[in-house]
Chain A
Amino acid sequence: MDIRKLPFVNLLRRPGRTFSLLLLTAFLALSVFGGSVIVMSMKRGLNNLESRLGADIIVVPSSAQSKVSFKNMLLQGTTGAFYMSGENLTRTLEVEGVEKAAPQLFLSSLKADCCSIRIQIIGIDPETDFIIQPWIEESCQSRLGDMDVVAGCDVGVNASDTLKIYDEPCHVIGKLAATGTGLDSAVYCSMETMNKLLKAAEAKGITHEITSEDEGLVSAIYVKVKEGCDIGKVNSAIQGHTRKASAVRTKSMITDVSDSLSGVSRTVTWLIAVVWILSFVILLIVFFMIANERKKEFALLRLLGTSRAILGSVVRKEAAVCSLAGGLTGVALSALGLFPFTGLIEKSLGLPYLTPDVSTILLTALLTVAGTVLVGSMASFWSAARLSKVDPGRVLRGN
């Protein structure tokens, strides 16, 4: 037994008190860490979306609006079984100011034997595509050839694997980086490959909303506007020139979302600040009460010859160890509650949600724990310092 062991002995032999303090500090760390990670993930998801999105305008069939909203399509990567004539692609290209127009064809999602999740197949035109191909990672070739596919990050295959779709072997030439949206479970292939897959499905008696006979259908057209052209004007021109289709500007939609997101993140930041301040006040009160209850204990230590400085360090150490444990517990609980459920959070938020990289998470965890320890030590130290100003002979009188 010596004075340096005393803090630990005090903590261990009063488990109830220690546990309550631990719980309190754990709650502090949990809310701060959890809140920060969620906000960072939303920001990262949106930034990623912004940089990923090469299209200024998206054109979809008018009927699509009743099935999925533009917002969901863009933010969550939701696709659907809606189609329009390929003529609209030609018409779009005719519009003044259109630099590029890339069609995509959505096939309703299907259960592939490779993975537990439903995947969706999206046909693209490798010649004109400027949306997907620039993002192919680790690929040996950047163009999609016959029976080649590119997989989203949640599809359980690796580059150069073979993925069987309707028993047709497809060559995976690359994987896409995480987007934090539904597109992570998509598989991209050329229109010709899509047609072959449809035929294979029909041979097996599986039907889709479209058949292999349907020529030149598209689900969406992604448009890039020429440098210097007014996107709004181009957008209305496309709107007027195409048939049974609606065009929408992507950037303005993202700006809307990012505005509301910065509102959300401001709110969360405030909430975190309030949690910290509240916790600090609560911790102060708790330590104040504990110190009052332990007044005699501290006075006795002083009576036995413990200097103010040493008593202070005992109390501080006790609080630091306890809030360190609480901080770590809080961060761990928060991590357990967040990281396994990113998919769920992504869905319920309806926004792209990309967890920050490991080093950022570790740094956040470290700062959270350090902050918790600091707050805990400060609160305890203050109450102990207040007490040790009183002469021990004044506290310890008779009974």
Chain B
Amino acid sequence: MKLEASAVEKWYLRGNGESNRFFAVTKTDLALEPGEVTVLTGRSGSGKTTLMNIMAGLLTPDGGRVMLDGQDLYAMKDDELSRLRNRLFGMIPQGADVLPELTVKENIILPQRIYRSRSRGSFSDDDERENEGLLSERCMSLLEQMEISHLCDARAKELSGGERRRMCIARALAGDPKFLFADEPTSDLDDDNTRIILSMLRETADSSCAVMIVSHDAEAGEYADTEWRMDGGTLKKR
């Protein structure tokens, strides 16, 4: 499975008038492959998040295509694309966004229960219960690895910034994605936690997942197979 962006670009209008097009991402090619960690660095405002969102099927590019095994993500129907992203993609958004009223555990489990909700599908009751148990176990073990298992029943809105970010990481990993997009996953974490998270992301890649990390952390480079640098919307290999 390979995710390939070819000649994607994204521009916004700045100020007034058509003439003031501002390119957040200029014609860019990028490929993500299973087993590889791709790290993207660059100054603030250079277009990293924009590119990552385009790769993750979350932002329609103004030019170019993003292909997954020959399928153009942005030519798919919303329903198909959503389902595909739910099943194959994991996303850790830069804002560490959460559903504030849900508990940590609910936040992590919900994405896995959008299409596979209980008593829908062909599972028998026993299978259901087993599934439910497995998911819950998976969730708890992720939280333990992130060292926030004691918070599993806390409302997400009560968490600190770093706790929230780690929760988002657990949420993205819970579905065993084939593509993981991590937008500054370690930005508000201490050194110990940064190391824990980065090595977890590395392990995830090693179990045949394609991992894309946007990071300012010099340490991230140590875990990378490929390193890119974004500069004013242009991608350069480092």
Interface residues of A (CB under 8 A from B): 1-4, 6, 9-10, 13-14, 296-297, 299-310, 391-394, 396-399
Question: How distant is the Cα of A165 from the Cα of B79 in the complex, in angstroms?
Answer: 80
Q: Is B14 an interface residue (CB 8 A)?
A: no
Contacts A305-B83, A305-B89; A396 near B95 (Cβ below 8 A) = yes
B59 interface residue, CB < 8 Å from A?
Answer: yes
Most chain-A Cβ atoms within 10 A of its Cβ — which of B50, B54, B59?
B59
**4 nearest A-B residue pairs (beta carbon):** A305-B86, A393-B59, A393-B53, A393-B58
Report B-chain residues with C-beta under 8 Å of the C-beta of A399. Answer: 94-95
**A14 to B, closest residue via Cβ:** B101
With a cutoff of 8 Å between Cβ atoms, the chain B residues found around residue A308 in the complex are: 78-79, 82
Q: Across the interface, which residues of B come within 8 angstroms of A307, CB to CB?
A: 78-79, 82-83
Q: How far is the CB of A84 from chain B (nearest CB, A)?
A: 78
- Interface residues in B71-110 by Cβ distance below 8 A to A read 78-79, 82-83, 85-87, 89, 91, 93-95, 97-102, 105-106, 109-110
Cβ-neighbour of A391 out of B58, B82, B106 (below 8 A): B58
Complex contacts, A302 vs chain B, CB 8 Å:
58, 82
Chain B interface size range: 35 or more
Chain B residues, Cβ within 8 Å of A396: 58, 93-95, 97
Residue of B nearest to A314 (CB): B114
Known contacts A2-B110, A305-B86, A310-B114; A398 and B97 CB within 8 A of each other: no
A399 to B93, CA, bound (A): 10
Q: A9-B102, A308-B78, A398-B49 are in contact. Are A303 and B91 (CB under 8 A)?
A: yes
Interfacial chain A residues near B118, Cβ < 8 Å: 2
Kindly count the residue-residue contacts between A and B in the assembled complex, taking CB atoms under 8 Å apart: 97
* Residues from chain A with Cβ under 8 Å of B60 in the complex: 391
In the complex, the chain A residue whose C-beta lies closest to that of B168 is: A300
**Cα distance A198–B166 in the bound complex, in angstroms:** 94
A398:B95 contact, CB within 8 angstroms? yes
Structural contact, B114 and A1, CB atoms closer than 8 A: no
Residues A1 and B102 in contact, CB atoms below 8 Å apart: yes
Q: Known contacts A394-B59, A397-B49; is A306 also within 8 Å of B101 by CB?
A: no
Return chain A residues, CB-CB under 8 Å to B97.
296, 299-300, 303, 396
Residue of A299, A305, A398 contacting most chain B CB atoms (<10 Å): A305
Q: Does B35 contact A (CB under 8 A)?
A: no
Closest to B183 in A: A398
Inter-chain CA distance A246–B27, complex, in Å, is 100
* Most B-side CB within 10 Å, residue of A13, A393, A396: A393
- With A1-B105, A391-B60, A397-B49 given, name 5 new contacts (CB 8 A): A1-B102, A9-B106, A300-B98, A310-B82, A392-B58
**A306 and B53 contact, CB distance less than 8 A:** no
| Interface-central residue, A14, A297, A300, A301, by most chain B CB under 10 Å | A300
